[in-house]
């Protein structure tokens, strides 16, 4: 294999991935090589297996493009490449025993222009999401695996709020990092390093401002969850993402973190869980989502601290709230492939 200059290989790889509408690009180090892959419609495609030294030079060039420290190879780093038109590339490095692993997430710049109805949700799900997030207070949680479209949905929700005459000055986002700038609202970028400007510190500062809607990029730990619950209970609209497999797991994880059931029940407005599944024609990915709006009956149920098995039964019996049921309905309509698989 004749090697071209590393910077040319990197640029060609990125351009080829963008032309194929890839969502991710990976440089995966092994003992004597670096494997390059892209992800298209949830499936990975092998691009090349590079000699280890050449692969390391390619990785160093990617880090340079993202303004990362090329000589720091024993710590993780995050950066952004904005060299390519209408696209942002989110770069994340991870030190491994074989060298640095690079993950590149492709972010389309037009995501901030989309509304909920533009995201291809089923009509009833889209309407439910709009209704729960337009409530003047309470906590709305979006959950699902990495790359399922949670951030795109959150930005669409922000657009819906602005469309419904929410004062831009009263919206604050706290993100790590800011995914997409929206004119008029206040967006703060935080660091995962506790010694620097972190989520808890930024959230407390935001709540001292005249904020009506607080967007939290991710509730990563118990301290952030506590701030979010308190904010929702004190009259704020809070919208965030949370690592939990599905709607029942959101309740289970919060209870496991030690929060009182009545507190969770009182603060939550709704939960949305989503995935991206291959369309029947295999040319695109379709969002499969389930949504639960908490009413008084649900609040009374959660306040009783039910076990997870009972929560799952209740969710399964609630229209629009069961993800597997929603996926099966889409498969019956030939909207998604019959071979769909949901990863919880």
Percent of the chain with pLDDT over 90: 72
pLDDT at position 245, please?
84
Q: Name the helix (H) or strand (E) containing 11.
A: helix 6-19
In whole angstroms, what is the distance from residue 148 CA to residue 51 CA?
A: 32
- The average pLDDT across 123-145 equals 95
- The average pLDDT across 30-36 equals 96
pLDDT at position 281, please?
74
What are 235-294's pLDDT values in tens digits?
Answer: 999 999 999 989 999 999 999 999 999 999 999 999 999 998 888 776 678 899 999 999
Indicate if the pLDDT at residue 2 is higher than 60. yes
The residue behind tokens 């990029």 is: 217
Q: Is 229 helix (H, G, I), strand (E, B) or coil?
A: helix
| Contact (Cβ atoms closer than 8 angstroms) between residue 270 and residue 140 | yes
Task: For residue 209, give Cα distances in angstroms to 9, 170, 180, 189, 202.
Answer: 47, 9, 22, 16, 11
**Rg of the chain over all Cα atoms, to the nearest angstrom:** 21
Q: Is 104 helix (H, G, I), strand (E, B) or coil?
A: strand
Number of other residues whose CB lies within 10 A of the CB of residue 12: 12
- For the entire predicted model, the pTM comes to 0.83
CA 240, distance to chain mean position in Å, is: 9
Among 158, 309, 304, 169, smallest CA distance to 239 is for 158
What are 288-312's pLDDT values in tens digits?
Answer: 999 999 999 999 999 999 999 999 9
What are 40-96's pLDDT values in tens digits?
Answer: 877 889 999 999 999 999 999 999 999 999 999 999 998 889 888 888 898 999 999
In whole angstroms, what is the distance from residue 235 CA to residue 67 CA?
A: 40
Peptide bond preceding 266: is omega within 30 degrees of 0, i.e. cis? no
Domains and CATH numbers, the chain: 6-109 (3.30.450.90), 114-332 (3.40.50.300)
């Amino acid at each position: 294999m004749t090697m071209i200059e590393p910077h040319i290989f990197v640029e060609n790889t990125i351009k080829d991935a963008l032309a194929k509408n890839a969502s991710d690009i990976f440089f995966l180090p092994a003992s004597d090589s670096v494997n390059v892959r892209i992800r298209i419609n949830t499936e990975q495609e092998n691009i090349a297996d590079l000699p280890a030294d050449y692969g390391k030079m390619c990785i160093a060039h990617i880090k340079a493009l993202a303004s990362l420290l090329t000589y720091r190879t024993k710590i993780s780093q995050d950066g952004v490449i904005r060299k390519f038109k209408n696209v942002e590339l989110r770069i994340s490095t991870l030190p491994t025993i074989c060298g640095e692993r690079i993950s590149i997430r492709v972010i389309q710049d037009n995501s901030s222009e989309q509304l909920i109805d533009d995201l291809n949700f089923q009509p009833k799900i889209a309407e439910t999401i709009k209704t729960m997030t337009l409530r003047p207070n309470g906590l709305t949680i979006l959950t699902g695996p990495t790359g399922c479209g949670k951030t795109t949905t959150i930005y669409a929700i922000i657009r819906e709020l602005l469309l419904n005459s929410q004062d831009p000055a009263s919206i604050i986002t706290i993100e790590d990092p800011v995914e997409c700038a929206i004119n008029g609202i206040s967006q703060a970028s935080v660091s995962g390093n506790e010694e620097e400007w972190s989520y808890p510190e930024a959230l407390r500062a935001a709540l001292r401002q005249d904020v009506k809607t607080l967007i939290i990029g991710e509730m990563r730990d118990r301290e952030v969850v506590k701030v979010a619950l308190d904010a929702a209970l004190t009259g704020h609209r809070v919208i965030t993402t949370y690592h939990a497999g599905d709607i029942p797991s959101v309740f289970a994880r919060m209870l496991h973190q030690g929060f009182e059931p009545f507190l969770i029940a009182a603060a939550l407005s709704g939960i949305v869980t989503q995935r991206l599944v291959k369309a029947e024609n295999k040319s695109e990915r379709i969002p499969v989502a389930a949504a639960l709006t908490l009413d008084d009956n649900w609040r009374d149920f959660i306040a009783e601290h039910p076990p997870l098995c009972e929560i799952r039964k209740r969710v399964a019996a609630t229209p629009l709230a069961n993800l597997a049921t929603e996926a099966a309905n889409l498969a019956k309509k030939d909207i998604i492939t019959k071979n769909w698989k949901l990863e919880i």
